Amino acid sequence: MSGEIPKTEPSQIVAGDSVQWQKTFENYPAGTWTLSYVLVNATNKYTITATASAEDFLVSLATTDTSSWAAGHYAWQAYLTATGQRITIEQGEIDIVTNFSAAASYDTRSQAQITYEAIEAVIAGRATKDQQMYMIGGRRLQLTPIPDLIVLRDKYKAIWNSEKNAEGIKNGSTPKNKVFVRI
């Protein structure tokens, strides 16, 4: 944590990394107000409290603070509190990223790729079966028709291809869906 401290919230934090940022709210001095953040997604919630640094707020997270954070996409809200008052001052989004040195393994596939491959496996497994419905012990099981699976497979393949195209553009490649015309 050397150099100048950023004045904005990070867009991503690697779990287990230390991170700092500083905030100033002209009408809400740090001596009178307390700045807190809540990061939340469908399964996790983390609360951060800033410390006063003259008139500013300093958010300083140590390795031990972030090491147990679960990777994922989070929404965050920053709020100020003072005696009997609470004001939501800002909000945004942040990604918590897996720390590769702390992970035993890591699946680099996107959710679209995972879903596409799962549907492909189901189609491949069903290719030799001709029954679509069967009963066991009075319970009926009806399988998703293969044409419906093919539609879903194609949908997720298109999403995955779009993700790969966007990643390629980000890395300087020519878009795969761009048509060049010579005049």
Q: Tens of pLDDT along 39-61? A: 999 999 999 999 999 889 999 99
For residue range 65-122, list pLDDT tens digits in order: 999 999 999 999 999 999 999 999 999 999 999 999 888 888 888 899 999 999 999 9
Q: What is the pLDDT of residue 87?
A: 97
The burial of 20, by beta-carbon neighbours within 10 Å (0-12 exposed, 13-18 middle, 19 or more buried), is given as middle
CATH class for the region spanning 12-101: mainly beta
Distance CA 176, CA 173 (A): 9
Instruction: Output the pLDDT for position 75.
Output: 98
Residue 85 in contact with residue 60, Cβ under 8 Å? no
Q: What is the pTM of this model?
A: 0.67
- At 155, the pLDDT band (50, 70, 90 cuts) reads very high
